[in-house]
Amino acid sequence: MAFESLSDKLQKIFKKLSGQSKLTESNMEDMLREIRLALLEADVNYKVVRDFVEEVKQKAIGQQVFTKVSPSQMVVKIVNDALIELLGSADSELHYAKGTPTVIMMVGLQGTGKTTSAAKLANLFKKSNKKVLLVAGDIYRPAAIDQLKALSIKVGADIYEDRTGTKPPEIAKAAYKKALSEKYDIVIIDTAGRLQINQELMDELKDIQSSVPLTETLLLADAMSGQDAINVANAFNEQIKLTGVIMSKLDSDARGGSALSIRKMTGVPIKFAGTGEKITDLEEFHPDRMASRILGMGDVVSLVEKVQENIDQEKAIKTTKKIMTGSFGLDDMLSMIHQIKKLGPLGKLLKMMPGMPKVSDEQLQKGEDNEKMMEVIISSMTAEERKNPDILKNSRKVRIANGSGKTSADVNKIIRSWEQMKQAVKQMSPYAKKMMNNVKPEDLKNPSGN
């Protein structure tokens, strides 16, 4: 998980400080020393660490009212504000062209995932009902055009391709002309990369910039490459002027040093973060939300957005009605679990919830194994048994266990889980009823609110 190591260390530092009755010069110096070490161990650039610690120190010294909040609360607030500023404050939003298509050029070294990220970006725009045109501007890498074409079909975006040997700047110009005439909202140009930065690559990108009115030039930076990502960003920015960074593989970097350093060292903000290999694993980068996650305070806003995007509201309403009438069966429990799984890996969801205890990989794996077992066992039941589990006597349990390749103890475990969930949703019934009364028919027809 991104920033996991840093997050753990910072939370331990604040926990230690929470035992102090007041903030003194001595305990503040100890705290700053530990923050400095935590950031350096997270591979944050040493200049960034020096400036960050100095900023926290000055803000802490400048606080006049120490009696209103505890020392740890005050320091958490100061560190949170400093992290937001470090990660990009308010300049991380994507810019859009007015009256013409928004044109985004993807740049970066070979192997950073430009083509896949172009499709992920297109998928994000498609969710907002934008008309998207992907442009196959990498004519050198074998199968690059075929890869982009396959991905365009997957996300439901159109593609502009030219296999006649036309140079990328001319391809970009022709694609933009098509976008204008056919009223596309977004044009995403995939470009060629190299194993290392060279002038030939830069000249081609400059020619594309001259050929079409670019709104954004986004660099694909590999979070796993550490401080090399900063060097690459600086090299590109010097020649073609970047407007933003897509930090790929951020989910795989437990340290997160490059993400915390890149904006300060290059002046280029992170605008998107790649969080996995799936086409849906790209998120808009919000510095305030990321700072909150790093400090272990969760990210409720992103969690709510995920629920709105992925949960089938009509199914949720039907399940709620069953809860209220007491007809909550095993199929309903399985449906709820499937809905939750749509939100993403459980580990990521837990990190978005404030105050959640840390869950080990072993515990997460055990939870996933239980879900799979539950699905297999419930699938081995009859429709009547799933609807009314109370009829499951010993002979039925033995039959279900044999049919699913599990044991009677496993079947009993699923039934106990259902009973516990039934009791929990029964207690939630008054809130569910209130929610039902507030739901309007038009909300179901247009759940996104757009």
> Last residue of a domain, which of 298, 317, 342?
298
d(C-alpha 30, C-alpha 281), whole Å: 39
- Least confident piece of the model among 219-223, 337-341, 446-450: 446-450
Q: How far apart are CA 310 and CA 324, in angstroms?
A: 23
Position 93 in a domain: no
Q: What is the mean pLDDT of residues 98-122?
A: 93
- Indicate if 329 and 379 belong to the same structural domain: yes
Same domain, 321 and 274: no
pLDDT at 96: 94
- The answer on 389 and 321 residing in a single domain is yes
Residue 93, SS3 per DSSP: coil
Tell me what pLDDT residue 303 has. 57
Q: Are residues 291 and 234 in the same domain?
A: yes
Same domain, 190 and 278: yes
**326, 305, 281: which is closest to 427 by C-alpha?**
326
Mean pLDDT over 371-388 rounds to 87
Domain membership of residue 450 (yes or no) is no
Is residue 97 one of the residues assigned to a domain? no
Tell me what pLDDT residue 120 has. 96
Which range has the worst mean pLDDT, 5-9, 137-141, 262-266? 5-9
CA gap 19, 23 in Å, rounded = 11
pLDDT at residue 450, as a whole number = 40
Structure tokens at 228: 């090399």
State pLDDT tens for residues 259-308: 888 988 998 999 998 888 889 889 888 888 888 878 766 555 555 555 55
Per-residue pLDDT band at 444 (split at 50, 70, 90) = very low
pLDDT bin (cut points 50, 70, 90) of residue 209 is: very high
What is the mean predicted confidence (pLDDT) over 165-184? 96
Q: Give me the pLDDT at residue 334, please.
A: 78
Q: What is the mean pLDDT of the segment spanning 374-379?
A: 88
What's the rounded mean pLDDT across residues 97-118?
93
Q: Which residues neighbour 57 within 8 Å (Cβ) at sequence distance 6 or greater?
A: 28, 32
What is the separation of C-alpha 174 from the centre of its chain, rounded to a whole number of angstroms?
34
Kindly tell me if the per-residue pLDDT of 218 is higher than 90.
yes
Q: How confident is residue 152, by pLDDT bands cut at 50, 70 and 90?
A: very high
Q: What is the pLDDT of residue 434?
A: 53
Q: What does the pLDDT average to over 19-24?
A: 68
Confidence at residue 48, expressed as pLDDT on a 0 to 100 scale: 92
pLDDT of res. 158: 96
CATH number of the domain encompassing residue 53: 1.20.120.140
Give the mean model confidence (pLDDT) for residues 306-325.
Answer: 61
Burial class (CB in 10 A: 0-12, 13-18, 19+), 422: middle
N- to C-terminal Cα separation, the chain: 32
pLDDT at 75 over 90: no
Same domain, 55 and 186: no
What are the backbone dihedrals phi and psi of residue 164, each rounded to the nearest 5 degrees, phi first?
Answer: -95, 5
Q: Kindly report the pTM of this predicted structure.
A: 0.69
pLDDT at 343: 66
219 found inside a domain: yes
Residue 305 has a pLDDT of 58
Collect all residues with Cβ–Cβ distance below 8 Å to 179 and sequence separation of at least 6. Answer: 101, 103, 133, 187
Examine the pLDDT at 388 and tell me if it is beyond 90: no
Specify whether 211 is located in the same domain as 284: yes
Residue at 234 is within a domain:
yes
Whether the pLDDT of residue 22 is over 70: the answer is no
**Portion of the chain with pLDDT greater than 90, in percent:** 33
Let me know whether 251 and 315 are in one domain.
no
Instruction: Identify the weakest region by mean pLDDT among 81-85, 164-168, 291-295, 320-324.
Output: 320-324
Asked if residue 11 has pLDDT above 70, the reply is yes
Task: Provide the 10 A C-beta neighbour count for residue 138.
Answer: 23
What is the number of domains present in the chain? 3
- Whether residues 67 and 110 share a domain: the answer is no
CA distance 250 to 114: 15
357 pLDDT tier (thresholds 50, 70, 90):
low
Q: Domain boundary residue among 266, 298, 330?
A: 298
Average pLDDT of span 133-141:
94
**Do residues 265 and 288 lie in contact, with contact meaning Cβ atoms separated by under 8 Å?**
no
The stretch 356-371 carries a mean pLDDT of 71
Q: At residue 65, does pLDDT exceed 50?
A: no
Take residue 280 and report the two structure tokens written for it.
Answer: 């849906």
The pLDDT value given to residue 323: 58
CATH number at residue 217: 3.40.50.300
Residue 379 sits in the same domain as residue 410: yes
Residue 94 covered by a domain: no
Which SS3 state, helix, strand or coil, does residue 132 take?
strand
Q: How far apart, in whole angstroms, are the C-alpha atoms of residue 89 and residue 85?
A: 5
pLDDT band of residue 148 (cuts 50, 70, 90) is: very high
Higher pLDDT, 79 or 15: 79
Query: How is residue 201 written in tokens?
Result: 């690559």
Tell me, what CATH number does 316's domain have? 1.10.260.30
| Backbone φ/ψ region at 132: left (φ over 0), alpha (ψ -120 to 50), beta | beta
Q: What is the pLDDT of residue 5?
A: 78
Same domain for 212 and 142, yes or no, is yes
**C-alpha–C-alpha distance, residues 167 and 139, integer Å:** 8
Q: What are the residues whose beta carbons fall under 8 Å from the beta carbon of 197, sequence distance 6 or more?
A: 109, 232, 235, 236
Alpha-carbon torsion, ordered 110, 217, 127, 251, to 10 deg: 50
Last residue of a domain, one of 259, 274, 298: 298
The residue range of the domain holding 38 is: 4-87
DSSP labels, 155-211: HT-EEE---SS--HHHHHHHHHHHHHHTT-SEEEEEE---SS--HHHHHHHHHHHHH
| Assigned domain for 256 exists | yes
The per-residue pLDDT for 70 is 67
- The alpha carbon of residue 80 and the mean position of all alpha carbons in its chain are separated, in whole angstroms, by 19
Percent of the chain with pLDDT over 70: 76
> pLDDT tens, 122-133?
999 998 899 999
Q: Please give the mean pLDDT across all residues of the chain.
A: 81
Residue 184 and residue 109 in one domain = yes
Residue 96 inside a domain? The answer is no
Quick check: 27 pLDDT over 70?
A: yes
How far apart are alpha carbons 250 and 257 in whole angstroms? 10
